[in-house]
A and B are shown apart, each in its own frame.
Chain A
């Protein structure tokens, strides 16, 4: 039996998607528990570093959600974010990250049902690509390198 459950880091904008998550909770709309929410002031605040950091810390997927175009609390933060994400998503996928791992959405604070629905979609997409091992360090590197070398030296000197 496979007990693996995808772990997803969701960066939610304080002014919209975070509110939607809250409303979904209050309205008792079910959505999967695989989402770990990090509240950010604006989707424009998301730095590509954050997304890589999430993957490096063991997330299987990353979801960024902000306000619909035109609705940004800071007027235009999400417009800049959109360009950044378009390039970033293409770029990470170009280097081998599966398309199912990175997700972006616009969800207003009133759209609780869109939030719950998108959460389900994201979880299923990540589940279908499986655990992310790309950015997980697996080897204690110097041991790996040194052990055979030491053994070889030992063998030589007898």
Chain B
């Protein structure tokens, strides 16, 4: 994966020198291991900050909404699908964005590595093909990358960018034998009361920091419903009913738009698996309307269109 670093720098250098773009959005090394951070490069003499590794899980499409300038952006499979959706939703013109497509091998979940280390502090984490080398004071571990992937990457079926101007490497084989909805089905099989309690427990640690919303490239309303006050749809308290209302509406706003990029879950400081909500909607949109978000620019999103014979057995 780190092989992309060179390619990204070359492309950034070229695009900036030729004045094809005003900036390049990519990643640079973070201040602690396993935390690569987004960076906006404007000058050719900064391109060496750009890196690529297994910790670039942040969805960079988040920085494209309503842009007026021309930028290049590094996009994994999921990021590219969010870009497709943003184009559909008129957030910018296709020609403003130069997409450096990164066929993706899945991103590593730093929390899984931390959990494995059981309190030992990683000082350096490097990768070597399918292995992660984690070292710190008095230890040196070699971990199989595959087993430390983010949950959404484990079941990702669109690792290759669906839209790009150039690819940073060979396309990767797509995973085809994954079960995307195992957890959703498990919840569906419960009784209503069990389901309510399941989500009560799941959401209980939420501190309503809205990081999940802010990290999502599809959450860009100028005024979020949580900030509306006349009428006020969601209370400001940490009461379970307010938290639940926030989560239900947030997820519903992603219906037919979520690409399961995992940026929300990744950003959550309380480790809440919020994708369990969005995935249900993803599953239903696929089953009812045969639609998967962000694969093609043409056509309308599923909630912005209809067929006269759409299913309606739930209507009296």
Write the residues of chain A forming the contact surface with B, with a CB cutoff of 8 angstroms.
Answer: 48-49, 52-53, 56, 69-70, 76, 79-80, 82-99, 103-106, 118, 121, 134-137, 139, 141
Tell whether A48 pairs with B249 under 8 Å between CB atoms, given A94-B195, A99-B192, A134-B241.
Answer: yes
Are the CB atoms of B252 and A82 closer together than 8 Å? no
Determine if B188 and A83 form an interchain contact, defined as CB atoms under 8 angstroms apart. no
Complex CA gap A48/B225 in Å reads 11
Q: Are B280 and A94 in contact (CB under 8 A)?
A: yes
Complex contact A121–B316 (CB within 8 A): yes
* Complex-state Cα separation, A82 to B310, whole angstroms: 8
Complex-state Cα separation, A110 to B114, whole angstroms: 65
Within the complex, the shortest CB–CB distance from B235 to chain A, in Å, comes to: 8
Which of B78-86, B144-152, B165-173, B283-291 forms contacts with chain A?
A: B283-291
Instruction: Please determine whether A49 and B306 come into contact, CB atoms closer than 8 angstroms.
Output: no
The reply on B303 being an interface residue by CB < 8 A is yes
Across-interface contacts of A98 in B (CB, < 8 A): 192
In the assembled complex, which residues on chain B have CB atoms less than 8 Å from the CB atom of A82? Answer: 306, 310, 312, 315
Residue B255, interface by CB 8 Å? yes
New A-B contacts (6) at CB < 8 Å, excluding given A83-B302, A103-B316: A48-B248, A48-B249, A49-B233, A91-B281, A105-B315, A137-B239
Given contacts A83-B302, A91-B248, contact A105 B316 (CB under 8 A): yes
Once the chains bind, are B233 and A53 in contact (CB under 8 Å)?
yes
Q: Complex Cα distance A48/B239, Å?
A: 20
**Residues on A with beta carbons closer than 8 Å to the beta carbon of B248:** 48, 52, 91-92, 95
Number of B positions contacting A (CB below 8 A)? 47
Select one of B238, B251, B306 contacting A83, CB under 8 A. Answer: B306
CB pair A104–B316 under 8 Å, yes or no, is yes
- 5 A-B contacts, Cβ less than 8 Å apart? A53-B233, A82-B315, A83-B310, A96-B198, A104-B315
- The residue among A87, A98, A105, A135 with the most chain B CB atoms within 10 A of its own CB is A87
Assembly CA distance A121 to B316 (angstroms)? 10
**Which residues between 178 and 228 of chain B lie within 8 Å of chain A, taking CB atoms?**
184, 187-188, 192-200, 225
Tell me if B110 counts as interface (CB < 8 A to partner A): no
| Contact (A96, B315) CB under 8 Å given A86-B288, A86-B310, A91-B251 | no
A95 touching B252 by the CB < 8 A rule?
A: no
What does DSSP make chain A's interface, helix, strand, loop or mixed? Answer: helix
A52, B197: Cα distance in complex, Å = 18
**Closest beta carbon of chain B to A123's beta carbon, Å:** 13
CA distance A139 to B196 in the complex (A): 18
Assess whether A135 is in contact with B245, with CB atoms less than 8 Å apart.
yes
Confirm or deny: B237 has a beta carbon within 8 angstroms of a beta carbon on chain A. Answer: yes
With A86-B311, A87-B281 given, is the CB distance from A94 to B187 under 8 Å? yes
In the complex, what residue of chain A is closest to B253 when comparing beta carbons? A48
A97-B192, A141-B239 known; A135 and B314 CB under 8 Å?
no
Assembled-state Cα–Cα distance A77/B250 (Å): 23
Q: Are A52 and B245 interface neighbours, CB within 8 A?
A: yes
Bound: A84/B194 CA distance, A: 25
Q: Is the Cβ of B249 less than 8 Å from the Cβ of A49? A: yes
Contacts of A56 in B (CB 8 A): 241, 245
A95 to B276, CA, bound (A): 10
A76-B306, A139-B239 known; A104-B314 Cβ under 8 A: yes
